[in-house]
Amino acid sequence: MLTDMKEEARRQAEICNACRYCEGYCSVFPSLHSNREFSDGEIIQLANLCHNCRGCYYACQYTAPHEFDLNLPAALAEVRQDSWEAFAYPRFVATHFQKNGMAIALATSLCFSAFFVVTQWLGRGNGEGFYAFISHDLMILIFAPAFVLPLTSLTVSLRRYWLAVDGTRIKLIHIYNALRAAATMHNLAGGHGEGCNFEDEDRFTQARRVAHQLVLYGFLLCFASTSSGTILHYIFDLPAPHGFFSLPKLLGMPGGLMLTWGAIWLFRLKLKADPNLGSMAARNGEFGFIALLGFVAASGLVLYILGQTALMPLTLAVHLGAVLTFFLLTPYTKMVHGIYRFAALVRDAQRKTGSTNP
């Protein structure tokens, strides 16, 4: 299947290479135009460099009903999605999630939530706040493997990708350039900075770019909140619960709000977008991932609001169930697109600096 997809993407890339009308649209086209022929690895690199803004499709004179029948965003989306499944470890989990993402995310979250309800019923902790219902040691016992195992899987997947795209030795300048492009969502700004055509055909908007930035920076703030809480606990002997003006709360509250709103916004944009310009096979998985990400953030905010009420234990179980599901499914959801696209940006930075394999 991936071979057929790459052949179709290669056919379209060769036509685009001859036309060059879309040369300034995003990073895909300078990279595409630097080649005359496209290996399988170069097609996979182009696919992961593409942010599916769709501007090239609406500008193209060779889309259907022209005999060339170009639809480069969809062709690259199919290769991109199938490459994620091919590189995933273990692969079968990724395949099933893309087909049944909503159902898997919901069922897994409910099962883990029930598990946390049972742990509360079997025996409570001896701490304060959340730790009065689930001990700190039990939380570590559960979440430490749930954090390490996905990292191991992602490491294997990323190595497979890097070998496939013939990546060279990484230098600091490559990482810097990739970080700058990722931080500003440069490729979602369009060739002239007007945005992309993701939601309303030939109408340019910045909506998808801003929504992605809300999700990215909201997630980073939430991660920083958790990390700061860990540092306070183990280094400064200041265990949770922390006050409103503590670092975990000052980072986590705006992060949760940004992540929740960004996920809702992306969900709405995905509903409005033309499904024929993306990967139809992965559509369910994409919705499942966005819903899970948004629910993790929203349930965390609800947990804070209900932290002093009788509903706190149940809310805690539901939130922890969603977080555990998110961690374990991360290597197989669209969460990996950020990792692969960052790797693609690093590889593109190598191309720009003329780095080649020895």
For residues 344 and 336, give the distance between their C-alpha atoms in angstroms, rounded to a whole number: 12
Query: Rounded to whole angstroms, what are the CA distances from 78 to 6, 75, 98?
Result: 9, 5, 12
Q: What is the C-alpha R_g of the chain? A: 22
How confident is the model over 96-118, as a mean pLDDT? Answer: 86
Residue type present at position 84: W
Q: Distance of CA 232 to CAs 147, 227, 236, 237, 319, Å?
A: 19, 9, 5, 6, 22
Closest C-alpha among 204, 186, 231 to residue 342: 186
Identify the weakest region by mean pLDDT among 99-113, 196-210, 304-318, 332-346: 196-210
Q: pLDDT digits over 126-173, tens only?
A: 667 777 788 878 888 889 998 899 999 999 999 999 999 988 889 999
pLDDT of residue 326: 93
Q: So what's the pLDDT on residue 202?
A: 65
User: Distance between CA atoms of 116 and 96, rounded to whole angstroms?
Assistant: 25
pLDDT confidence of residue 339: 92
Distances (CA, A) of 131 to 141, 248, 304, 320: 14, 16, 14, 13
Mean pLDDT of 299-324: 91
pLDDT above 60 (res 257):
yes
Q: Per-residue pLDDT for 91 more than 60? A: yes
Instruction: List the Cα angle 95/96/102 in 5-degree steps.
Output: 125
User: What six digits make up the tokens of 80?
Assistant: 């991109």
Euclidean distance between CA atoms 208 and 41, whole angstroms: 28
Range ranked top by mean pLDDT from 19-28, 89-98, 101-110, 244-253: 244-253
Query: For the purposes of burial, counting CB atoms within 10 Å of the CB of 272, is it exposed (0-12), middle (13-18) or buried (19 or more)?
Result: exposed
Query: Given a cut of 90, is residue 122 above it in pLDDT?
Result: no
CB 204 within 8 A of CB 195: yes
CB atoms inside a 10 Å sphere around CB 128: 10
> What confidence category does residue 357 fall into, taking pLDDT thresholds of 50, 70 and 90?
very low
In the chain, % of residues over pLDDT 70 = 95
Looking at residues 2-13, what average pLDDT do you find?
A: 89
Select the more confidently predicted residue: 356 or 351: 351
Task: Give pLDDT, residue 138.
Answer: 85
Lowest-pLDDT choice from 103-112, 130-139, 327-336:
130-139
Give the model's confidence band at 323: pLDDT under 50 very low, under 70 low, under 90 confident, else very high: very high
pLDDT digits (tens, 9 = 90+) for 188-245: 887 667 778 777 666 788 899 999 999 999 999 999 999 998 899 889 988 877 888 8
